[in-house]
Every structure is written in C-alpha cells, then in structure tokens.
Amino acid sequence: EGTESVGEAVEYTITGIEAGAGITEATKNALSEYENLSGWEQETSSTAAMITELGEAIDNEEPIIVAGWSPHYKFAQYDLKYLEDPKGVYGEAENINTIARKGLEEDMPGAYTILDRFKWGVEDSEAFLLESLESEFEEVAQQWVDEHQEDVAEWTEGVEQVDGTELEIALAPWDSERAPANILKIVLEQHGFNVTLTTVDPAVMFEAIASGDADASPSAWLPITHSAFYEDYKEDIVDLGPNLEGAKTGLVVPSYMEIDSIEDLKA
Ligand code: PBE
C-alpha cells in the first residue's frame, strides 16, 4: 500500500465527464502534452457518474483524479484542490460568455440589451448551485431574481415590454449553465418575452447560434474550454463578453492527496 504510486492506485485513469464536453477535449490535450501522463487514460461517462465516484473515493479516503470545474457545488461539499498546470493546458483566466446570433440586436433590441448586461459572479453561482441541491432549479432561479432586484434593475433599465415575442436560449447541459439560463428566462419573461430553453452539447450550441436556430446562449466557456467550437463559428456569432469571470477547469483531487501538480502524476 504505502509504496503504491498514485498512478497505480487510480489505474492510470482520470475520471472524466461527457464525451462532448469542452473539458474532455482539454483533458485529451493534457494527456498528450504532459510526458508523465503517457499511458494514462481519460474515462468519460457523465457528470453524475464523476460526482458519484468522487464522493465514494472521498468516503474511503482513496485517491481519485477528476476533470473538474468552477463554478460547481463540489467545492462547497468537499475539500478539493486543482492540480497546478505548468503547461497551461487548461488556460489561465477562463470566463463564461454570452453569445448571440447575428441580427438579434436589430430584431429584439430589448432582449439583446438584457443578455448583454447580464453578469454575476462565481460566488453567486456557487451559492445558487448549492441551493439547487435542496430545491427545484426554477424555484432557486425565482428566488435569486427576487433577492437581487438591484442587479435585475441594472440589466433591464430602459428596456421596453414586448408582447410574447419568442426567444430561444440554447444552453449546455451542466448546472453552471442551467443557472444563468433560468435566471435570464425569468428576467426576459418579466419583460414580455416567451423564452424557450433548449439544452444541447456545446458543439451543437455554437452551431445553433451560428445558424440562427437559437437566439443566444449564456454558456460559452472561453477562451479555452470551448475554443475549438468557437473557432469554427466565430465569424457567424456575436460575442457579448463574459457573464461570469473567474471560471476554471482542470484536474481536481481531494485535498488529502499529497500531490500538487499534474507533473506529480507519475507512472
Ligand atoms: N464544463 C461545465 C463544460 C462547460 C460547463 C466545464 C463541464 C464543458 O464544456 O466542459
């Protein structure tokens, strides 16, 4: 036991999430860029499975290495740390941006204004996500809007009411994306829009905004996590900038593990 390496203990496996996630691509890049990770694999499945495995490992104080990100409630539930990433594979400052289809500003200036102004913080988001473990997502969103009327007033100042204009928001299937989408749905509906939320993989989300099938999305992780999708579609979308600054992705381990860097993951 005592002499077993971290690699042996985790069977040279990083516990990943959905195959279509941006972080799955970043982790593939990490596996090819860090020489000490040659022979390691990423096991993809689902976010729910990753969270279950993480919880089980922590219950047994066993080692585990997961593809992780913030904002996420796991940092409030468990004592975790990001492994240092000296090669910068997961990037430095990551943000969550709002993107819109071309022409939205002309077609629905009020909605565009609200989408453009919407902004909150990592702490807001993590408090929201923790709350959502106890209550329905829609209820948490309503409560957040009720309790943040000053922010909402800033986002909506001068925006005129419309009468049932349809608006489609595309979002990626993670809670960090469901949170802003549900807040925006409530705020936009208070201004008379009829909002549909459509959940799709990130690649499809960018494609839908570029083709105009969807109007906007508050879940573009840039500049790194969704860079491959962004590069494909950037000429055909409008980037409204960050709605959340200070997001992060990387390899995450329980704090009791005695390693600090991706380079410490030795065979
Ligand atoms: N995530 C959470 C997503 C975006 C939101 C980091 C898991 C990803 O595409 O990797």
* Å from CA of 69 to ligand 1 middle: 7
Q: Convert the pLDDT of each residue in 95-114 to its tens digit.
A: 999 999 999 999 999 999 99
Average pLDDT over all residues of the chain: 96
Q: Convert the pLDDT of each residue in 208-244 to its tens digit.
A: 999 999 999 999 999 999 999 999 999 999 999 999 9
Query: Which is the closest atom of ligand 1 to the Cα of 177?
Result: 5
* Å from CA of 157 to ligand 1 middle: 31
Residue 162: is its pLDDT beyond 70? yes
Amino acid at 216: A
Q: What is the mean pLDDT of residues 6-22?
A: 96
Query: Which is the closest atom of ligand 1 to the Cα of 25?
Result: 10
Residue 1: is its pLDDT beyond 60? no
How much of the chain exceeds pLDDT 90, in percent?
96
Looking at residue 174, the DSSP 8-state letter turns out to be S
Residue 3: is its pLDDT beyond 70? no
CATH code: domain 94-247 is 3.10.105.10
- CATH topology match: 6-92+249-264 vs 94-247: no
Amino acid at 129: L
Q: Which of 28, 51, 176, 248 has most ligand 1 atoms within 8 Å of CB, for mutation?
A: 176
Q: Which fold has domain 6-92+249-264?
A: D-Maltodextrin-Binding Protein; domain 2 (3.40.190)
- pLDDT band for 2, please (50, 70, 90 cuts): low
Any idea where the domains of the chain sit in the sequence? Answer: 6-92+249-264, 94-247
* Integer-rounded Cα radius of gyration of the chain: 20
* Å from CA of 19 to ligand 1 middle: 11
* Å from CA of 25 to ligand 1 middle: 10
Whether the CB-CB separation of 51 and 74 falls below 8 Å is answered with yes
Residue of the CA atom closest to atom 5 of ligand 1? 174
Q: Which of 69, 98, 175, 230 has most ligand 1 atoms within 8 Å of CB, for mutation?
A: 69
* Å from CA of 21 to ligand 1 middle: 6
d(CA 74, CA 131): 12
